[in-house]
Structure 1
Amino acid sequence: MAKWGEGDPRWIVEERPDATNVNNWHWTEKNAGPWSKDRLKELLTNLKIAQNGIDCKIIEVEKLEGDASANNRKGKLIFFYEWDIKLKWEGLLAGAADKIKGEVHIPNLSEENDISEVDITVTIKGSGDEAQRVKAFMHNVGRNEIRKQLKEYLRSLKEEYSKGLILPKKGEAQVKPDNVSTITSGFNKKVNMEPIVSNKNQPVGLKLDTKTIELSEKFQCRAQEFYDALTRIEMVTAFTQGHVKMEAEKGGKFVLFGGNISGEFRELVPGKKIVQYWRYKQWPDQHFSEVTFNIEEKEDHTLVQLRQELVPAGEVERTRDNWRRYYFDSIKRAFGFGTILTLLRRILTSGPMRFTILFFVKIFMHL
C-alpha cells in the first residue's frame, strides 16, 4: 500500500488519500451509541412545553436503552438506531396548587419508522379533571414538541457521523451531510394507517378554544353487547357501513368512516368502559379529544354515558349531532338495540320467568 506520490503510480490505492478502502467498497462502521445517549439527554432533559395556562417540563430521562451506528457500504451511508426511552414529566395547571406528574414512553425510536409514526405514550400518576386536562395537553401538544427534539437528534446524528466516514476519491470534494440518506433494513416496520387529511390552515400549537361534550343514551342490550359494538371489527363495520381499520387493545389505532375519524384506544374494560383519543379529520392538525364511554347495565336497559373533552369550540354542535346520528342511532338500527323486541329476546332467553312470559306472549299474539 502507498499514499499519493509513493510507490508505483499504477496502484489503484493512489485514487484514495488514505490508501485504504478503495472506492469506499468495504464496510466501515462507527459506534454512535455513547454520543447518541448524550445528545438525546441534552435535547430532552428540561424540555419546556407551555400553552393555554398549562406549563409542563421533562424533568428526567429515566431510561435510555439501545444503540446507534453509522455505516459505509459501497459509498453509501447507512444509519442504524434503535432506542427505548422513558421520560419523567411534571405539569401545572394555572390556578392549581399541586403539580401533575407522569411519564412518556417511546418504545421504538428506530430507522424503521418515520418520526411521525413513532409511538409516544403519555401516562399520569393520579386522577381527577385537572390531571386529565394536563395529560390531554401532553398528548396533543407535548408529543409534538418531543417529536421535534427527536428530529433534531437524527439531523445532528447524520451531520456528526457523516464526517470522514466516506472519504473522497482523488479530486473529489468531501461528502456533505445534506447528501446523506438513511437506508433502512425493512424489519419491524409498523403497519401504516391510511393518512388522515388535516386542516393545514391552523398551525400546531396555536391557542385553541375547546369545550366538553356530555351525552347519555339508553340501549336495549347487554352492556357487553354495546362494548362489542365498538370494539369488534365486524360489528363496527356493520354500523359504520364502510371499511374499518382497528386494533382493539390499549394503544391500538382505529380509522373509521373513510378516514374521517381516527384515534387510539387508551383504556378498555370489557362491558364497562372505553377510553379513546379521537379526532375528526377537519380539526387542527394533530389535535385529539379524549372520549370516555361509561357503560352501565341496568335492570331493563344499558345506560351509556359519553364524555368528550377538548372538542374545538366551533365543532361542538356538529360533533354532538354526529355522535347521535352516526354512532348511537346507527348502532340501534344495525343491531336492534333500540327496540323492545331486543329486550323481550333477553327476557325470553334468561331468568326464571321466561316460560311464564312466553306463555302470555303467545296468548297476546292469538287475540
Structure 2
Amino acid sequence: MVVHNPNNWHWVDKNCINWARQYFEEHVVGVKSSAGGSKYVEVASVSSMEGDCEVSQRKGKVISLFDLKLVMMTKGKVDDEEFEGSITVPEVAFDSEKEDYQFEISIYKETGKLNEARPLIRDQLLPQLRDIFSQFGPALLQTHANDIQVPQSQVKSEYTRANLTQSKASESASSDTPKPTSAASTKSSTTGADSKSAPSSLSKAPLYNTTALHLEPTFNVPAIELYQTFLDKQRIQAWSKSPLVCKSTKNVLEVNDEFTIFGGNVTSKLIECSPDKRLVFGWRLNEWRQGHWSRLTMEFHESKEYHETKLQVTWTGVPVGEEDKVKGNFMDYYVRSIKLTFGFGAVL
C-alpha cells in the first residue's frame, strides 16, 4: 500500500476485511474439544462473516475499527451419533472485552442425546474462541499498521513522531501472538465476487463488492414437505402470493429452470437439488446491476425426535449494503409467509 501522507498527519485507512476472513479461517477452523471420551466436537469451517474491518491512522496514531458477525460450522459426535451444527458470534468488535463475546449454539437434527454436546461446546470450545477473538485486534494492528504510515525516518513533526512511538509501544505490549500471514484471501466473503456467488453461465465478472449471510429458520414439518414447498409451483405461488413466471410448463421446478416471482422483482434459477437434503438457487433482485447473481444454498436438517426441520441457509454474493434488505425480505416473504400459509410453525 503506497502512502502519500507527510508527517503521517492526515487520516488514512485500510480495508482489512480479506485479511480478517483469512485470520479466522486459519485460527478457528480446527479448534476442538480435548481428545478422549465418547463426546467430541470441533470447528469445521467459517460459514460467513459480515461487517467491517479497518486499520486507520491520523497524526501518527494508529487504531483498528472492526465490528464483525461470525458464523462457524461445527461437527462432532456423542457416543456413536454424529452431528453438525453452528456457533454464531453476533459481535466481534474493537472495543469488546474477552468476556463480552456472546455465542449462539445450534445443533442440527437435534435429539435428546445430541443435547449433551452443548455443555461440551460451552466448556471446551468457547474459552478457546474467546482467546482467539481477544487476540484479533492486536494481530490486526501488528500486521497492517506499517502499511498506512510513512517510515518514522521521514517524519519531521515531533508531535506525530511521539504518537507513532506511543502507538508502537502499545501495540508491542498488547500483542503476544505471532504475526499471521498478511496475504489477502481470495475466498473473502465481503470483497470481490465469491467463486460460488452465481451460476457461471449467468455472471462472469464481479459487479459489486459482496458479503455472505447465514440464517437458520426452523419449521415444524418434515424435511420432504419443506423441500417440496420450494419446488412445487403451486405452493410457491401460494406462499409468494404472486404468479410464478417460468418457460417450463411442468408443475415442479427442475435444474436450470429460471423463473420470476413477487411481480417480477425477484428472478431465480434452480442450480442444484438433492431430494430432502439440499437446494441451490441463483437469485437476484431485478434492481441489481444486470448480470449479477447471488447464490442461495438451503440445507434441510430434520429432527425426527422433535418433529421439526432446521433450514440452514448460506447466501453468498449479496452486494454490500443490501444485506439487511435481502435478509429481511427472506425472513418476511419466504419464512414467515410459508409458516402462515401452510401452518409450518409459530410466527413471532
The TM-score bracket by the shorter chain reads 0.3 to 0.5
State the structure with bigger RCO (CA 8 A, min sep 6), 1 or 2: 2
**TM-score where L is the length of structure 1:** 0.40
Structure possessing the higher radius of gyration over alpha carbons: 1
